[in-house]
Amino acid sequence: MSLYSPDQLTAPECSGSMSPSARCVMTRRYAFILAVAILTTSHVSAQSDWEWLNPLPQGNDLLSVWFVNPSVGWTVGTGGMILKTTDGGATWSIQRSNTTSALRGVRFLNEQTGFACGMNATIVKTTDGGSTWLNVEHPFVNIGLVDICFVNDSVGWVGGGWYVLRTRDAGATWQLYTDSWPWHSITDLYFFSETSGLWASRVNKKTTDGGVTWNYAPSAGLPYAYRYTNYSFTDAQHGWTIGDNGAVGKTTDGGASWTATTTVPSGMRIAFTDTSNGWAVGFKGLYKTTDSGISWTEIISGDFADLFFTGSTGCIVGTTGKIYISGDGGATWTPAVTYPAQLTGTTQVRAYDRSYTLAGGDSGKIFRTMDGGSSWERCASPVFAKEISYVTIPTFDRAFALCDKYILRSLDTGKTWTVSFTNTFYHFNDIHFLDERTGWAVSSQSEFYTTTNGGDSWTKNPYYLSYATKLWMLDELTLVMMSFDGSVRRTTDGGHTWSAMTTPGSAYLYSMAFADQNRGWIAGNYERIWATTDGGMNWTVRQYLPSSQVDNQDICVLDSVNLVVVGSESGSMYTPVWIQVTNDGGTSWDSLGHPSGMPLVSVSFADRDHGFVAGEDGQLLRYRGWTGVPDPPTNPSAEPLTGSSLRVTWTDASSNETGFRVFRSDRVNGRFRSIGEFPAGTSTFDDEGLESMTRYWYRIAAVNASGRSPLTREVSAQTLLAPPAPPALVSPANELTFVYPDVLFQWCRARLADSYHFQASLDSIFSTMLFDSSGVIDSTFIGVQMPFDTTVYWRVRGVNAAGSGDWSQRWSFRTRYGLPSYVEVSDMIYPSAIYPCIRWSRGTYADTYELMVKTTFPSDSLIMHNSLITDTSYVVGPLEFDRAYAVTVRSIYRGEAGPWSYDWFQTISSLPLQVALQGPPHYANSVSDTLELRWHASSPYVTHYAVEVDSTSAFVTPFRDTLITELFYVLRNLVSGRQYWWRVQAYNVGGWGMFSEMRMFIVTPTSVQEQSVPQEFALLPNYPNPFNPSTTIRVSLPVGSHVRLQVFNILGQAVDDLAGGEFEAGYLVREWTPRGATGVYVCRLEAVPVNNPFMKIVRTRRIVFLR
């Protein structure tokens, strides 16, 4: 049921003279002022509008438990709570009990029929396993019922105070019986049969007539206790009882006599499963005995109220919804209660809107929901020993919390918290903000602190006001402060001076809130509500029940007429809890039904259908009324599908939606944008076209004609690794012309690409490849020596572990006409000749070549430059011997020059030296027609030799062989009787060196005579000639003769006598070494034959002596 009447379905508006932003802050964001739902007059909201959030399945105290078999059982507790399990206690479901009274006893006759009893003389019955419970009419007075007991399917009893009700028809009718001693209040009933039973109390009673009359039960040997708590019998003879002081008594004769055993902690109840094994539960925990109660061992600590065993299945229940289950006879125990997101100790709750709510807990814990309470997360906040005492949310991003001496602040929608300010000595009572930057805080010693920069810094106000507990800012200068003792003060000068306001007498004040600058309310004890219509100057009572013990703990204001308060009755063992609502400013009030049986200390509503209440023991409940707007989906999730898609799923939690809307953000706490709306029944959405390896955040809402539900909590997922997207090409630009053949290709880096695959082709379908390169690491590629005047197509794709991405766009360009290419100098010889022929490679697109030759060290000077060379070689020279030269050459095409090539060479140091002959000696005789000529190696850098042979020493028509690389040469087919002259010449890159000396040899006949006697008188040519330092002169004598051999200078003066006297026929040889100056000399021969003294032979020959 909605908290609103049908004519109140519009969003709340703030009124008054404040600015719109200030009014909005006043209405829903600050201390104890939260937008709440309004109860329709004369209607009470059903408990089904409320949902337990913490703990689960619920948080009321559980007081009694009963199982009909090891699987099926029930437990009951405060707030009319009834839970059922069908799986041995592993899971529990809440059953609607049709009462809010605390239920203290439960018994089932079978799986269908059962009873529960409790406070306010409540008895409820079910005949369908708890699906429906109905109130049972009976003649009982209004007193709390504590126990219920049946001995069969028809006969049973209910007891409380000093009254007992009996039924003999399975609860259809009841008879009332009472005891004459009213101070003997029942704490437990135990019946052996339809007639015999026990009554545990301050004084134990016994009946033998089915409860009609009661007498004192035997107490011999029973240990002393002020009040006995309960009985436990394993059969008709063996039983135990326990006192409120922990004293345990045992009987073996059906209660006729008792024996004291070992005590346990006070406040316990006992239950035995056989004569040896028993259990005790209470606020000190769970204890066990295996020796009939002689000794006890603590098993579990905690505050428990009841225990039940059936077979090996055991169950204990206790405060704040505690349930422990054992399936092994009590050897081990497992809790069956959960705390979502560790939502422990949540006593403060503040809702900003239908999605975003903060809750404060113990040890400084702060929790956040972004989906209206369906899921919670623990925020990152400092850990303290004390609990969070207050939470306020000035803006969506900015929130504050109080914890002992600390002011905590969050700047990211409550996700993370830091300390904004630390008070040296005192804890803080309250904090309130006018807007996101201006706020006040008050300590337990009434110290005031202010901030004007959103909590970046706080300044202590020098003005002190005693007993300040709550404050409210109406504007920057006007504040209202209240004290716990009932006083209210007001300032209009920013706290410099305070004036006492009119209040209706003393009272305890707990909470204060304003709807605007004029209308405000205070909640206090005795269910009192005070209201002001003049900004806090005067206050009047709007509700006052002086007989009530209910203290209004918190107040939530929607607007000037609609508000809600929560409270609980003080001084009661099982505290009634109140949620009161009004829609007329507090003139009349109605109770808002709810399932909580625990004291409530905080209330906060985001709008008319969505709110929260928190209990003093950490309970947290959510209210969702009904005005037509659908409930938000639950269980949102997101998971990756591919590198470009994610799947978002959710569970439909409403029955009136017409569709769902999905919102997406690309960053944490970012702005969510709607990306699609889907029809009812949809629970899955595949979000496609996303970036690979990117995280996205999603929230979902249900929609219908009335509006949109709150958004679910944020869920996120990251897309998988996908092949990279196509890179964007950069250069050379598409369809560019006149591109040089050596091209730097560039493209933009593709996200997630580890490398690139590059292709360049002569055709657009990439069948004639110029380049096809994979594994390119950088986003560049250098293409060299591509053809001139040609269209080139190119493209790139990224590659990573997921594979190759799509190709980029296909771009093209056209290379320019031929550019003169690089030419390389070749065939350079080291050392080179002084007339070297320089050669180079033929250049592509070259009309001519340009050649430069320069000297190098020690000076650099150009000795040759020619740019009109058409061939690929050129002879330069003469160059200097033993000199280094640099040569550069480049090609030229259509007036454009290519790059220079470079080389260098060294010329030889000189021409080859004169060859030194080795053999045969001069004037040698050879009797063979084959003769080997030998010589010594020459230098420098000799590559080969030339041999000349002639019949005269003039070498007019010599035989010449110039390709000799050895140091010998073989003459063949020599003519017998002929003389031969020979010489040798060496060659290097500089040219031919000097000839060696001339030598002569004679091929002689085979007979001795033919070999030794010449045929004529002759003065043979000297060798060498010219000569230096000596020469050989030979004379042939055919007959014995008188001989005179002399040398004359050019003046006719004899300078030397070489021979004189008579010589036999043959050859006369003389070696002459001049002693005079160089020049031309004449050698003269005179010969007179011995056999003819009258014959005189004269011969002369010119010889040249050179230095």
Say yes or no: 607 and 640 in one domain.
Answer: no
Burial 145-163 (b: 16+ CB within 10 A, else e): bbbbbbbeeebbbbbbbbb
Q: What percent of the chain is predicted at pLDDT more than 70?
A: 91
463 pLDDT more than 80? no
Residues 78 and 142 in one domain: yes
What is the rounded CA–CA span in Å between residue 134 and residue 461?
60
> How would you class 1062 by CB atoms within 10 Å of its CB: exposed for 0-12, middle for 13-18, buried for 19 or more?
exposed
CATH of the domain at 113: 2.130.10.10
C-alpha span between 602 and 340 (Å, rounded): 19
Note whether 653 and 710 are same-domain residues.
Answer: yes
Please list, residue by residue across 921-944, b when 16 or more beta carbons sit within 10 angstroms of its beta carbon and e when fewer do: ebbeebeeeebebebeebebbbee
Q: Does 273 score more than 50 pLDDT?
A: yes
Q: Which tokens in the block code for residue 834?
A: 């002084």
Domain contains 446: no
Place of tokens 């804890």: 427
> What is the DSSP secondary structure assignment for residue 907, as one 8-state letter?
B
Q: Give the separation between CA 1063 and CA 1041, rounded to whole angstroms.
A: 6
Which residues, 6 or more positions from 562, have their beta carbon under 8 angstroms from its beta carbon? 8, 12, 36, 38, 581, 582, 583
Q: Which two tokens stand for residue 210?
A: 């089915």
Contacts of 384 (CB under 8 A, 6+ apart): 363, 364, 403, 404, 406
11-25, 295-309, 431-445, 1092-1106: the lowest-pLDDT one: 11-25
Strand partners, 538: 502
Q: What average pLDDT does range 282-302 have in this prediction?
A: 94
From 254, 277, 302, give the residue that closes a domain: 302
Q: Give residue 414's pLDDT.
A: 93
DSSP codes, 131-175: SS-EEPP----S----EEEESSSS-EEEEETTEEEEESSTTSS-E
Tell me, yes or no, whether 769 and 797 share the same domain.
yes
Residue 952 and residue 873 share a domain: no
Q: What average pLDDT does the structure give for the chain? A: 86
Q: What is the pLDDT of residue 37?
A: 28
Q: Is the peptide bond before 732 cis (omega within 30 degrees of 0)?
A: yes
Residue 989, domain extent: 916-1003
> In 771-928, where does DSSP find H-type helix?
none
CATH of the domain at 975: 2.60.40.10
265 and 222 in a common domain: yes
Rounded Cα distance between 551 and 568, Å, is: 6
Closest Cα to residue 313, out of 326, 304, 324, 300? 326
What mean pLDDT comes out for the span 532-547? 78
CA 171 to CA 430: how far, in whole Å? 53
Mean pLDDT across 1076-1086: 92
pLDDT at 986: 93
Same domain, 809 and 853: no
Band (pLDDT 50/70/90 cuts) for residue 503 is confident
In a domain, 426, yes or no: no
CA distances from 263 to 65, 281, 290, 563 (A): 24, 13, 14, 52
607 vs 442 pLDDT, higher one = 442
Q: Cα 125–126–131 angle (5° rounding)?
A: 140
Instruction: Determine, yes or no, domain membership for 30.
Output: no
Does any domain span residue 240? Answer: yes
pLDDT of 60 strictly over 70: yes
Instruction: Tell me: pLDDT of 879 over 90.
Output: no
Provide mean pLDDT across the span 267-287.
94
Per-residue pLDDT at 21: 27
- Identify whether residues 671 and 736 lie together within a single domain: no
Model confidence at 547: pLDDT above 60? no
The per-residue b/e assignment along 945-977, b for 16 or more CB within 10 angstroms, e otherwise, is bbbbbbbebebeeeeeeeebeeeebebeebeee
Q: Are strands 1097-1105 and 1054-1063 parallel, antiparallel or unpaired?
A: unpaired
Place of tokens 């290379």: 815
Other CB atoms within a 10 A radius of the CB of residue 742 amount to 12
Percent over 90 (pLDDT), the chain? 53
Tell me if 488 is assigned to some domain.
no
The predicted-structure confidence for 832-860, as pLDDT tens digits, reads as follows 677 888 888 887 778 899 988 888 877 77
- Give, as one character, the DSSP assignment of residue 319: G
* 1030: number of Cβ within 10 Å: 12
Is the model's pLDDT at 42 over the cut of 60? Answer: no
Number of domains, the chain: 8
pLDDT at 638: 96
Per the model's pLDDT, the better-predicted residue between 545 and 993 turns out to be 993
Q: 266-287 burial string, b = 16+ CB within 10 Å, else e? A: bbbbbbbbeeebbbbbbebbbb
Instruction: Judge if the upstream peptide bond of residue 820 is cis by omega within 30 degrees of 0.
Output: no
Residue-level pLDDT at 830: 57
- Could you read off the pLDDT of 177-227 as tens digits, one per residue? 887 666 678 999 999 999 999 999 988 999 999 999 999 999 889 999 999
Average pLDDT of span 723-752? 90
Q: Who wins on pLDDT, 991 or 816?
A: 991
Give the Cα-Cα-Cα angle 376, 379, 383 (nearest 5 degrees): 130
Q: Are residues 948 and 855 in the same domain?
A: no
Of 21, 20, 30, 23, which is closest to residue 518 (Cα–Cα)? 23
Going by their DSSP bridges, the two strands 488-491 and 999-1003 should be labelled as unpaired
Q: In the structure encoding, which two tokens stand for residue 785, read together?
A: 């020596």
Q: How far apart, in whole angstroms, are the C-alpha atoms of residue 434 and residue 927?
A: 140
Q: Residue 31: pLDDT band by 50, 70, 90 thresholds?
A: very low
Residue 1081 pLDDT > 70, yes or no? yes
1011-1039 confidence digits (pLDDT tens): 457 888 999 988 888 888 888 898 999 99
**Sign of the alpha-carbon torsion through 8, 10, 12, 15:** negative
If asked whether residues 277 and 205 sit together in one domain, one would say yes
Strand partners, 634: 651
Give the DSSP letter string of 197-244.
EEEESSS-EEESSTTSS-EEPP-TTPPP-SSEEEEEESSSS-EEEEET
Looking at the predicted structure, is the pLDDT value of residue 446 above 80? Answer: yes
Mean pLDDT of 1095-1103: 92
Domain-embedded: residue 12: no
Hey, which of 460-469, 796-805, 836-845, 984-993 has the most confident mean pLDDT?
Answer: 796-805
Give the CB-side neighbour count of residue 383, counting CA atoms within 13 A.
1
- Cβ proximity of 582 and 590 under 8 Å: yes
Tell whether 617 and 510 lie within a shared domain: yes
- pLDDT-based confidence at residue 452 (cuts at 50, 70, 90): very high
Same domain, 992 and 1052: no
* Cβ–Cβ < 8 Å for 1069, 1059: no
Half-sphere exposure of 945 (CA within 13 A, CB side): 25
Provide mean pLDDT across the span 605-634. 82
What CATH number does the domain containing 1083 carry?
A: 2.60.40.1220
| Mean pLDDT, range 944-960, rounded to an integer | 90
Does residue 1043 lie within any of the structural domains?
Answer: yes
Segment holding 491, helix H or strand E: strand 488-491
Q: What is the pLDDT of residues 789-832, one digit of tens each?
A: 889 999 999 999 999 999 999 999 998 766 677 777 776 665 66
Domain boundary residue among 276, 302, 328? 302
858 contacts: CB under 8 Å, gap ≥ 6: none
Task: State residue 626's pLDDT score.
Answer: 54
**244 contacts 266 by C-beta, under 8 angstroms:** yes
Q: Does the structure show a pLDDT above 80 at 905?
A: no
Last residue of a domain, one of 275, 302, 329: 302
pLDDT classification of 36: cutoffs 50, 70, 90: very low
pLDDT at 608 > cutoff 50: yes
User: Is residue 418 one of the residues assigned to a domain?
Assistant: no
pLDDT tens per residue across span 86-139: 999 999 999 999 898 899 999 999 999 999 999 989 999 999 999 999 999 887
Asked which of 520-534, 761-775, 1035-1049, 1060-1074 is least confident by mean pLDDT, the reply is 520-534
